[in-house]
Structure 1
Amino acid sequence: MTRIPLNKAQLSREKESLAAGRRFLPALDLKRQQLMAERNRARRAAGEARAAAERAVIEAGAAVPMLADRRIDLKGLVKVESVRIGERNIAGVRLPVVEDVRIALRPYGRFARPHWVDEVVRRLALAARLRIEAEVAERGVALLERAVTRTAQRVNLFDKVLIPQAERNIRRILVAIGDSDRAAVVGAKIAKRKRVAHESGEADA
């Protein structure tokens, strides 16, 4: 245990530390709860985004069964050209948000490929956009997970370590000050009795 000065100045510092910890802990715990709630929402949103992306690919295959025709070259028809990511602040955590996705469609000869290629291109572009949104949502979940962990650690630090430590220090200092005060009183009484006795002896002489 760290040795601390057992005096009134240290007592004042420990009381201030305890008061600050008790003020700060409820706000910190509220932040932890907010982050946990947002993390849970983000998990659901990321799961829904990932499922939507996978569903778009499956639906593309179901709606356009001709995709199985290997003789038709579909490579490079759809390409993600650029993605603009913004931010939103949730309880002090900056989360990425998809603001814009630009998808380039490679020109293709309509006479060189069957008419259903148009539908394939549309569905592949949608799937690409949804996949990006899912990946960004999952990044947000990871950021929130880390923020929840850090905030929970700080809550535990205040609740389990700093506040109890300040309370113990205050008790130790109060006991030490009480012992010192009693010793001073006893010493003063002894000194007074000696002085009275000495004065009485002088008077008898």
Structure 2
Amino acid sequence: MSRVSLSKSSLAKQNRNLRTYERYLPSLDLKRKQIMAERAKEVMACEATRREITVLRERVQEHLPMMANHEIELSDLVSVRAVRIGEQNLLGTRLPVLEELEVERRDYGLFSMPHWVDTLVDALIEMMTLETRLALHERRLIRFDEAVRKVTQRVNLFDKVLIPRARANIKTIKVYLSDAERAAIVRSKIAKNKRQRETTI
């Protein structure tokens, strides 16, 4: 840390800095709280998607026990053809947004597959959609965590470093200037008394 200059101009600069820091700190803290609130919403959305995945799995296990029959070829019934991810700017945080998910059904003969395969394909498409959404929620949470960490560092920098340092500098400069002023008054009185003594002699 460089030594602060003990002058009136330096005092004015430190006062200006302190006012600036104190003006920005509340807005930074508000931003941190807003990002944390949005993160909490994202956590809830993530948990809701996880519950939907669990419910879908249970529903498939309950309604399609015939999937256990390994003689029927069920692999590659559906595949993801395209995923388009956009970007959302929320409170200065760039977040991924699912714009499009294109799922392709494999052609299969109606008479070569059992009737319940259509229900399974619908469930697989729903599961792919849910898993894509879940992956997106998790990526958004990572971005929110980074944003919270950065803004918290800034809040701490202002609150625990810059503001206390500016206040300490102001106090030091004021003490020095008042001491210098007192010393100047004392010197002028001594000089005045000396001149008076010299004129009386």
Length-normalised TM-score, structure 2 = 0.95
- C-alpha separation between the residues in 2 aligned to 1:142 and 1:88? 14
Amino acid of the structure 1 residue aligned with 2:89: N
Structure 2 residue aligned with 1:20: 20
Amino acid of the structure 2 residue aligned with 1:47: E
Q: Is the 8 A contact 1:32 1:151 kept in 2?
A: yes
3-state SS of 1:159 partner: helix
Aligned-pair CA distance for 1:121 = 0.6
Q: Is the 8 A contact 1:96 1:136 kept in 2?
A: yes
Aligned-pair CA distance for 1:50 = 2.1
- C-alpha separation between the residues in 2 aligned to 1:68 and 1:100? 32
- What RMSD, in angstroms, separates the aligned Cα atoms of the two structures? 1.3
Structure 2 residue aligned with 1:4: 4
3-state SS of 1:192 partner: helix
Structure 1 residue aligned with 2:104: 104
Aligned-pair CA distance for 1:2 = 4.3
Relative to structure 2, which stretch is displaced further, 189-198 or 30-39?
189-198
| Residue segments in structure 2 that go unaligned for 5+ positions in a row | none
Q: Is structure 2 residue 71 aligned with structure 1 residue 71?
A: yes
Aligned-pair CA distance for 1:88 = 2.0
Amino acid of the structure 1 residue aligned with 2:158: F
- C-alpha separation between the residues in 1 aligned to 2:58 and 2:131? 13
Amino acid of the structure 2 residue aligned with 1:147: A
- C-alpha separation between the residues in 2 aligned to 1:148 and 1:11? 34
Amino acid of the structure 2 residue aligned with 1:39: R
Q: Is structure 2 residue 187 aligned with structure 1 residue 181?
A: no
**Which residues in structure 2 correspond to 1:86-165 (within 5 Å)?**
86-165=86-165
3-state SS of 2:82 partner: strand
- C-alpha separation between the residues in 1 aligned to 2:67 and 2:55? 16
Give runs of ≥4 in structure 1 deviating > 3 Å: none
Length-normalised TM-score, structure 1 = 0.93
- C-alpha separation between the residues in 1 aligned to 2:194 and 2:155? 57
